[in-house]
């Protein structure tokens, strides 16, 4: 399990890097006479930062994560005609039935 400090450092580092990147992109846009919406860029940064925090919280509460889904071998072992049934369902769906 990764310690909480790793995620705090990651988040802080991400914010610093993105602040510098947004400033650089803003400067590049100004030099090239292109529009640049700093507010929209910072909203994107905030959205990713929030997603990073949510993922961090989830990891810290459940470090082993969600159980992996079964592979196809296990599926066909449990339902031998699964692929035929799936193909029929797709064919019917594609044919509008």
Rounded mean pLDDT of the chain?
89
Is the whole model's pTM more than 0.75, yes or no?
Answer: no
Whether 56 and 31 map to the same domain: the answer is: yes
Total count of domains within the chain: 2
Residue in this structure with the two tokens 């640049």, named with its chain if needed: 36
How many other C-beta atoms can be found within 10 angstroms of the C-beta atom of residue 49? 14
4 and 41 part of one domain = yes
45/41 Cα distance (integer angstroms): 6
pLDDT band at 64 (very low <50, low <70, confident <90, very high): confident
Question: Helix or strand or coil: residue 21?
Answer: helix
The pLDDT assigned to 67 comes to 67
Give start and end residues of each alpha helix (H) in the chain.
Answer: 4-31, 38-61, 72-78, 82-94
pLDDT at 25 (0 to 100): 97
What's the rounded mean pLDDT across residues 25-38? 97
Structural domain including 95 reads 69-97
């Amino acid at each position: 399990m990764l310690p909480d400090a790793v995620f705090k450092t990651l988040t802080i580092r991400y914010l610093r890097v993105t602040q510098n990147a947004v400033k650089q992109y803003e400067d590049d846009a100004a030099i090239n006479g292109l529009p640049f919406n700093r507010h929209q860029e910072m909203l994107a940064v905030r959205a990713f930062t929030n997603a990073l925090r949510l993922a961090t919280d989830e990891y810290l509460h459940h470090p082993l994560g969600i159980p992996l889904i079964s592979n196809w071998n296990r599926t066909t072992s449990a339902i031998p005609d699964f692929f035929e049934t799936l193909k029929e369902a797709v064919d019917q769906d594609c044919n509008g039935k």
